[in-house]
Structure 1
Amino acid sequence: MFRGSSFHTIDKKGRIIIPSRFRDIIANTGQDLIMITRMDSCLFAYCMDEWTEIENKILHLPQKSDFMRRFQRIFIGSCQECKCDAQGRVLIPPALKKYAELDKEIVLVGVIDRFEIWSKQKWDHENEQMDIDLGDEQVRQEIAQLGL
């Protein structure tokens, strides 16, 4: 499971270093590949086995609304298979880099079944938004249901 946050930079070629604790999880799948797609103004990175499960869930959805077709088009259509190199780096495809506005400073955030790749500026905004959300009683009740 992916956990924790790491602050890094993206180089001029669009490569990022995957933290060793994340690389270990990827390596334990028996592959050096991850699938990266876009969502929520950042990038979602999945191990191949987890990605296969997501595709199967989407494939077997009972309804095909306009919204779900659009979601499939963007979420699946934007994904890229990315290989980890010998130095533990991954090249972020230009279209995904542009979508997430990855410029220099980035943050990699473990979110259990995936890790997310954020621009530091957007990550800071996400943290500020969480502070605001915690002021909402409904949000606090929803979090309390987790037993926290």
Structure 2
Amino acid sequence: MFRGTSYHRIDPKGRIVIPSRFRDLIGADGTAMITFFEGGLYAYTLEEWSKIEAKMVMLEKKGNQMRRFRRFFIGRASECQPDKQWRLLIPPELRQDAGLEEEIVLIGISDHFEIWSRAKWEEQKNLHEDDMNDEDFQNEIEKLGL
């Protein structure tokens, strides 16, 4: 499972270094499927991506909104393979959409990891703090036993 937060820099060519704790999880060749979602990039192993695509086929039957979601979530995805130094080249369109410039944050989220610009990550942290002040949300967290 992907876990933890790492602060890195994206190089001028658009490459990011994969943290060593993520490397074994990605697999021997290190290929990741990366797509844009909710302001950041979501990176999946090929195995997890296959599961997502299988579920997405069912969305076709759910109407126009789900069809559009599928079109953009899968259609914008890119298969990225690391070089010998375990750097992934993030395609320019995905870098631009996610606002990746210099400082980035990689966050392990169990079945995938996310790549955020440092500025957008700080915004996400603030939103989380706001969420934690919401009583209904606190009740949901308590149901998890936390």
Give yes or no for TM over 0.5: yes
1:101 pairs with one of 68, 74, 99 = 99
Give the match for residue 25 of structure 1: 25
Q: Per the alignment, in what secondary structure is the counterpart of residue 90 of structure 1? A: strand
Task: For residues 12-43 of structure 1, give each alpha carbon's deviation from its aligned partner in whole angstroms, at most 9, with x where no partner exists.
Answer: 0000000000012112xx43210000101000
> Stretches of 4+ moved more than 4 A in 1?
none
| Percent identity of paired positions between Structure 1 and Structure 2 | 51
Does residue 66 of the first structure (1) align with residue 64 of the second (2)?
A: yes
Residue in 2 that maps onto 1:142: 140
Q: Higher helix share goes to which structure? A: 2
Structure 1 residue 62 displacement after superposition: 7.1
The structure-2 alpha-carbon separation of the partners of 1:115 and 1:37, relative to structure 1 and needing over 3 Å to count, comes to: same
Equivalent pair of 2:60/2:67 in contact (CA under 8 Å): no
1:94-124 CA-to-partner distances (Å, cap 9, x unmatched) read: 0000000000000000000000000000001
1:115 to 113, 116, 121: 113
Return the offset for 1:63: 2.8
Gaps of 5+ in 2: none
TM-score (norm: length of structure 1): 0.95
Residue of 42, 45, 61 corresponding to 2:43: 45
> What TM-score, normalized by structure 2, do the two folds share?
0.96
